[in-house]
Each structure stands twice: as C-alpha cells, then as structure tokens.
Amino acid sequence: MSSGKTFRYLFIFVAIIIAIASVWVTNGLVNELKEEERKKIEVWAESLALIGSQPEFENLDKAVENTFNRYKSNLLKIIQQNNTIPVIVTDETGNVIDQKNMDTPEQNSEEYLKEKIKKFADRHEPIVIESIEENELYTYYNVYYDDSTVLKNLQLFPFVQLAVVFIFIAVSFLALNSTKKAEQNRVWVGLSKETAHQLGTPISSLMAWVEYLKAKDLDPNLLTEMDKDVQRLKTIAERFSKIGSNADPEPMDLAEAVSHAIEYMGKRISTKVNIQTNFPEEPVSVWMNESLFGWVIENLIKNAVDAMDGQGSITISTFVKGQKAILDVNDTGKGIPKSKFDAVFQPGYTTKKRGWGLGLSLVRRIIESYHKGKIFVYKSEIGKGTTFRIELWTK
C-alpha cells in the first residue's frame, strides 16, 4: 500500500475516533444534565406540594409560625428559580392547574396545553406529588415537564459535531486531491514540453537529410515514405508541445477529423483488423483541436487492436444527441470488467507487459481539459468487446 493511501486511511480513522469520542462524551453530559433537571423538577414539585399544605396556627406558638413562614419563603424561592424548564401541573382528573415557562397562546390554550402534556409524557415520566388539604385529605397532582432549551441544544450538539468533522474530512480530501492533481499537471506539462524539446533537434536533422537525399538519384517512393514518417514525428512533437498550452480549438466536422485519423492508422495496423465507420449524412460541427483529437482516435484504435490481439472489427460511429455530438468506438476484443471501467483511465493502468499505461489517461486529459467533453466506457462484455463513448459540445 502506498504512503499516500496509508495517510488517507489513517486520517479517516483518526477523524472517526475523534467523532465517536466527542459524541460519547457529549451523550454522557446530556444524560447527566437530564438527571439533574429531573431532580430539580422533583424538588420543585415537592416545594409546590408543601406550600399547598396550609397548617392551622391557632394552637401553635408564634415561634413555630415564624419558622414555617421562613420555610415557606425558601420554598417559594425554589419554585421561582425555575426559569428554564417548561412545566405543566394537572390535578387527578387531568385539568391544568398551573404552568410555567410556556409560551401559551391566548386562543385555543386548552388544546395547546393538552398537546404539550402528551409530548411531555412521551419524553419524561410525569412526577406525581401529594398534598394534604383541609380535613387531612390527600390530593394528588401530576407534574409534566420538558427538556430545557440548554439541554435541547446540547442534544443537537453531537450532530453538529459530526457534520463539522465530515465537512473537515471532505475539505481536507478536496485540498489534498487538488494539490495532488496540480502536481500531476505540472509533471504532465513538464514531461510533454521536455519531450517536444528533445524531439525537435533530431527531427530537424532528419528533415535536412531527407532534403539532401532528394537531390540524389534515389527511389522517389522511398523518399516519399521517409518524408511522411519525418512529418509524422514533427506532428507528434507539436502535440506534446501543446500539452499545458491553449489548444486553440476550431470548428470542424467530427466525421472528417475521425477519417483523417483512420486513414493514418489504417496503414499501420494489422490487415486482419477491419475498421468500419457509421457517419451521418449531415456534417456534425464541433470545437476541436484536430491534432490533439487525432491523437485521441489513434490511441483508441491502438487500444482496440491490442484488446483484439491484432484481429477483429472496429466500428466508429458518430451522431447528435441534443446539443452534444456522440462518438462511439466499438471493438470485438476481450472486454473490460465493470469494476475497471474507471480504472482504465488512471495513469499507470495497463494489461500489457510493456508500456507505461498512459494512453487512455492522456485521452481523457485531452477530451476533458482541451475539448471540455467527456469520455467513458459506455458498455463492455467479457469476451465480446467494448465501446468507448466520447461526448463533445456541438458548435
């Protein structure tokens, strides 16, 4: 496993551990706060019950009465200090006696409170209190309560934490990928420019030699073929020099550009390979750089020939679909597993013993970066063949 993949997996693992630990700690705090709020409501309810119990002071001395009044004053303070937890108190029959910290509407207040009682009961078991009324009769009350605003916000906090962690992971990966892509682009451009530069000197020398040999009494057909190969090398050097530069696309008939590439490749592949075309009668004009686009078609044909082991049929079709021009390159080769549909375009991917596996990677770069189009494996069956599809914008 490469160091880059190891770092990514380690980064994800650490982020997940942080997220789980954060949620676990926060959940513990939420449960503790819930327990604290229930205890507060129990004390609040007991204070309410005690205040509701009115003793008779006729047979008690003044000191006892003063002590009870101070006790009652403290109970009132406890009741008044609850400014955050919504509370509804009902009698035994369910009638609302009191409510606190509730934004009760003026209209339909009874229905509103009944709905709130149902919701409160679903969240927390109501607290039952008893109060001694006159004639020493016991009266029972139900205290329904909800979580405070602080607790509700704290319950949402783990989800906010997870969202922040995932956003952080996504942004980090985007930054890493963009940095990696920029580095790859610089390598591509540097390699291409250096290749074009290195080819320039021998090509110029070969062109001079061809001109020199033309002045001699040699077979003209031989010199013509030599000149074609030298011009071909010149075209290849020009293609490499355009990588990383503005491609300067021009409107051109798609079928015509494909035909030029087929004409060149037809003489340089096995005679056992049959190339068929299916072009519409009307020209399909697209923006393209013919030199780079020809490189794409040549690479796709070479790839198809390799997949067919030098014998079979290649069908190239073009048609218009909406505002897009579609080009399909179908072969009768070995086929590609569905799991490899995207991998075949990655640099270094190859099934051959020789080669760097840059052909289809270069094809995708030319189509996407210089023609603003799209290339992908449209369909493939093992043992039956593969269809590559190119989508370009029409002029």
Bridge partner list, 137: none
Calculate mean pLDDT across residues 191-205: 69
43-75 pLDDT, tens digit per residue, is 666 666 665 555 554 554 555 445 545 544 544
- Is 36's pLDDT higher than 90? no
CA-based nearest residue to 300, from 332, 331, 273, 271: 331
Whole-structure pTM over 0.85, yes or no?
no
Indicate the DSSP class of residue 253: E
Bridge partner list, 314: 275, 331
Tokens of 36: 């604290």
Element (H, E) at 32: helix 3-52
The lowest-confidence range among 154-158, 297-301, 375-379 is 154-158
Side by side, which strands form the sheet with 273-278? Answer: 273-278, 312-321, 324-331, 385-393, 374-381
- Is 391's pLDDT higher than 80? yes
Q: How far is CA 143 from CA 36, 56, 103, in A?
A: 16, 27, 17
Element (H, E) at 98: strand 96-100
Query: What pLDDT, on a 0 to 100 scale, did the predictor assign at position 44?
Result: 65
Q: How far is CA 281 from CA 13, 131, 253, 329, in A?
A: 58, 97, 11, 19
Residue keyed to tokens 């008779």? 56
Query: What pLDDT, on a 0 to 100 scale, did the predictor assign at position 191?
Result: 65
Q: How far is CA 151 from CA 31, 32, 156, in A?
A: 9, 10, 9
Q: Which residues contact 53 (CB under 8 A, 6 or more apart)?
A: 131, 132, 133
Calculate mean pLDDT across residues 377-387: 94
Query: What pLDDT, on a 0 to 100 scale, did the predictor assign at position 50?
Result: 61
Query: What pLDDT, on a 0 to 100 scale, did the predictor assign at position 72?
Result: 47
- C-beta separation of 296 from 316 below 8 A: no
Bridge partner list, 253: 285
Among 126-140, 262-276, 339-353, top mean pLDDT goes to 262-276
Largest Cα–Cα separation, the chain = 146
Q: Work out the angle between the directed axes of helices 149-214 and 3-52 (0-180°, nearest 10).
A: 170
Band of residue 325 on the pLDDT scale cut at 50, 70, 90: very high
DSSP state letters, 118-177: HHHHHHSPPEEEEEE-GGG-EEEEEEEE---HHHHHHHHHHHHHHHHHHHHHHHHHHHHH
- Is 355's pLDDT higher than 60? no
Q: Which residues contact 329 (CB under 8 A, 6 or more apart)?
A: 297, 300, 301, 304, 314, 315, 316, 387, 388, 389, 390
Band of residue 329 on the pLDDT scale cut at 50, 70, 90: very high
Calculate mean pLDDT across residues 132-136: 54
Query: What pLDDT, on a 0 to 100 scale, did the predictor assign at position 186?
Result: 65
Tokens of 192: 């291409």
Element (H, E) at 330: strand 324-331
For residues 78 and 205, what is the distance between their CA atoms, to the nearest angstrom?
101
For residues 257 and 291, what is the distance between their CA atoms, to the nearest angstrom?
9
Indicate the DSSP class of residue 394: B
Q: Which residues contact 168 (CB under 8 A, 6 or more apart)?
A: 15
Calculate mean pLDDT across residues 237-248: 67
Query: What pLDDT, on a 0 to 100 scale, did the predictor assign at position 68?
Result: 46
Query: What pLDDT, on a 0 to 100 scale, did the predictor assign at position 279?
Result: 94
- Is 120's pLDDT higher than 80? yes
